């Protein structure tokens, strides 16, 4: 039976910054989405993690912990370049490569590597290839196991630059030595839910039947866990990536110059275009939308939020259809409270269907509009921002490209 090789790049965004800038190497680095003091880390170097600074740590907190912390604004396009270079390196060792995110890849191991020794040697060759061809500061942890799920669990066991191999013969022993929270997909809330069904350890999880786990999860997902734990590939981790998405959204923390009533609305229109481009890329259209804003007090930093939505529209994925709807929602925003400024904007499209299932309309050619904007997307892929709607043309450098969770697009 074939086995899975799981590659997890260590502190990927921060490592790219350290690889590109030698002055950052060996120093605590914090990568943030936008260079403002009110934001939080989306990645931290291992030097920063050793100080207690990790993903989600605010800039203010990080500066209190370590005043000399290096704050670096994220460069998503650069990270995607490194992602492609890593995949290219993997192409020299594997035929079957599946990127699960920008810094995680699952690879099928061929029949030439049938022993633990050969798998260990393969991992060393891959690590050396990445070191030599992608960058000496680009470290990775590797997990090898019967399926993607177990290989991912294994890759988390030793960081940074580790290697863990789960053998089929000793799989139960290896897993039952872990804690429930060591398994991807089980957080504190899920662990509490499992405890209500007398599952508090991996051993108890392993011994539970598919029916027990289905009751614990409240869905067929629980039964999938039974088989994933035993190395099944048909209900493996990452298979849900191919499922139809239920929603597509974007959000943005506002830079200081856009923290005005006009600025937050302009940013939202840029987010609208980004969402619709993703929808077209996924081959989907939306029938509902919700927008949301957050406002922050200029002195106390207290927050309040506002949101509004519109539903039951003929599914579409083009700006000409959705822009009037969004403008109507924007017109309903209540007056700004005294001493508050906008700090955040977000938009989420829902009620998604496949583009091929869009119904033709006697009044609006939403299908034709979608195809028009797909052609525009093609032009912008060849040359960034070659064509854009007039209402967002001046904002093409704002709310820049971000790497979404899941498979890079």
Q: Topology of 168-241 in CATH?
A: DNA polymerase; domain 1 (1.10.150)
Report residue 408's pLDDT band, with 50, 70 and 90 as the boundaries.
very low
Residues 72-81: what's their mean pLDDT? 92
Using DSSP bridges, classify how beta strands 284-285 and 163-165 pair: parallel, antiparallel or unpaired.
Answer: unpaired
Question: Is residue 53 pLDDT above 90, yes or no?
Answer: yes
Residues 70-76: what's their mean pLDDT? 93
- What is the H or E stretch that residue 277 is in? helix 261-282
CA atoms within 13 A on the CB side of 212: 14
Residue 242 confidence (pLDDT) = 44
Least confident of 43-52, 160-169, 192-201, 347-356: 347-356
Higher pLDDT, 72 or 397: 72
Tokens of residue 209, six digits: 């039947």
Q: Topology of 248-393 in CATH?
A: Dna Ligase; domain 1 (3.30.1490)
Question: Is residue 18 pLDDT above 90, yes or no?
Answer: yes
Report residue 397's pLDDT band, with 50, 70 and 90 as the boundaries.
low
CATH number, domain 1-166: 3.30.70.270
Residue 96 confidence (pLDDT) = 86
Query: Could you give the CA distance from residue 329 to residue 308 in angstroms, rounded to a whole number?
Result: 7
Question: Is residue 393 pLDDT above 50, yes or no?
Answer: no
Residue 20 confidence (pLDDT) = 97
Closest CA to 354 of 273, 406, 274, 287: 287
Tokens of residue 158, six digits: 């030793």
Residue 73 confidence (pLDDT) = 93
- Catalytic annotation on 104? yes
What does each C-alpha distance from 397 to 125, 271, 384, 392, 393 come to in angstroms? 40, 12, 11, 10, 9
Tokens of residue 375, six digits: 């052609």
Closest CA to 292 of 348, 338, 253: 348
- What is the H or E stretch that residue 104 is in? strand 104-109
* Residues contacting 151, CB < 8 A, separation 6+: 3, 4, 5, 6, 106, 143, 144, 145, 166
Catalytic residue chosen out of the listed positions 17, 104, 119, 398: 104
Least confident of 18-22, 145-149, 369-373: 369-373
Report residue 172's pLDDT band, with 50, 70 and 90 as the boundaries.
very high
Global pTM?
0.66
Q: 76-98: b or e for each residue (b if 16 or more CB lie within 10 Å)?
A: beebeebbeebbebbeebbeebe
Question: Is residue 188 pLDDT above 60, yes or no?
Answer: yes
Q: Where are the alpha helices (DSSP H) in 177-233?
A: 188-195, 202-207, 210-217, 221-229
Higher pLDDT, 233 or 60: 60
* Residues contacting 130, CB < 8 A, separation 6+: 86, 89, 138, 140
Residues 29-34: what's their mean pLDDT? 92
Report residue 364's pLDDT band, with 50, 70 and 90 as the boundaries.
low
Question: Is residue 16 pLDDT above 90, yes or no?
Answer: yes
Residue 107: CB atoms within 10 A of its CB come to 26
Provide the residue ranges of all domains of the chain, joining segments of one domain with +. Answer: 1-166, 168-241, 248-393
Residue 262 confidence (pLDDT) = 92
Q: Are 285 and 276 in contact (CB under 8 A)?
A: no
Average pLDDT, whole number, for the chain?
Answer: 86
Question: Is residue 329 pLDDT above 60, yes or no?
Answer: yes
- Cα 44 to the center of its chain, rounded Å: 16
Closest CA to 183 of 167, 174, 214, 142: 174
Residue 377 confidence (pLDDT) = 54
């Amino acid at each position: 039976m074939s086995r899975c090789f799981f590659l997890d790049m260590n502190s990927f965004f921060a490592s790219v910054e350290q690889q590109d800038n030698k002055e950052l190497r060996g120093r605590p680095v914090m990568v943030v989405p936008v260079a403002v003091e009110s934001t939080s880390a989306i990645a931290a170097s291992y030097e920063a993690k050793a100080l207690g600074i990790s993903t989600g740590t605010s800039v203010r907190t990080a500066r209190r912990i370590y005043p000399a912390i290096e704050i670096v604004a994220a460069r998503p396009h650069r990270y995607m370049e490194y992602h492609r270079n890593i995949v290219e390196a993997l192409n020299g060792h594997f035929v079957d490569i599946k990127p699960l995110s920008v810094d995680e890849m699952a690879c099928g191991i061929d029949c030439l590597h049938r022993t633990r020794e050969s798998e260990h040697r393969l991992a060393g060759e891959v690590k050396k290839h990445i070191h030599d061809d992608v960058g000496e500061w680009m470290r990775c942890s590797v997990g090898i196991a019967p399926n993607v799920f177990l290989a991912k669990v294994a890759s988390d066991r030793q960081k940074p630059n580790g290697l863990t191999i789960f053998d089929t013969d000793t799989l139960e022993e290896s897993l039952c030595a872990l804690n429930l929270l060591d398994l991807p997909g089980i957080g504190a809330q899920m662990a509490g839910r499992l405890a209500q069904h007398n599952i508090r350890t991996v051993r108890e999880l392993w011994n539970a039947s598919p029916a027990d786990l289905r009751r614990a999860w409240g869905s067929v997902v629980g039964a999938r866990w039974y088989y994933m734990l035993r190395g099944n590939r048909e209900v493996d981790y990452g298979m849900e990536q191919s499922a139809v998405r239920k929603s597509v959204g974007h959000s943005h923390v506002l830079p200081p110059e856009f923290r005005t009533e006009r600025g937050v609305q302009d940013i939202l229109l840029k987010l609208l275009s980004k969402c619709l481009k993703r929808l077209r890329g996924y081959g989907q259209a939306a029938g509902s939308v919700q927008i949301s804003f957050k406002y922050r007090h200029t002195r106390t930093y207290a927050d309040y939020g506002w949101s509004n939505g519109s539903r039951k529209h003929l599914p579409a994925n083009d700006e000409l259809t959705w822009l009037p709807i969004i403008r109507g929602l924007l017109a309903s925003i209540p007056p700004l409270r005294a001493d508050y400024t906008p700090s955040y904007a977000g938009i989420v499209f829902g009620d998604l269907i496949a583009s091929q299932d869009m119904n033709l309309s006697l009044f609006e050619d939403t299908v034709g509009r979608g195809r028009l904007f797909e052609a525009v997307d093609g032009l912008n892929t060849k040359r960034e921002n070659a064509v854009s709607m007039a209402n967002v043309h001046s904002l093409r450098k704002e709310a820049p490209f971000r790497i979404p969770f899941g498979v890079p697009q």
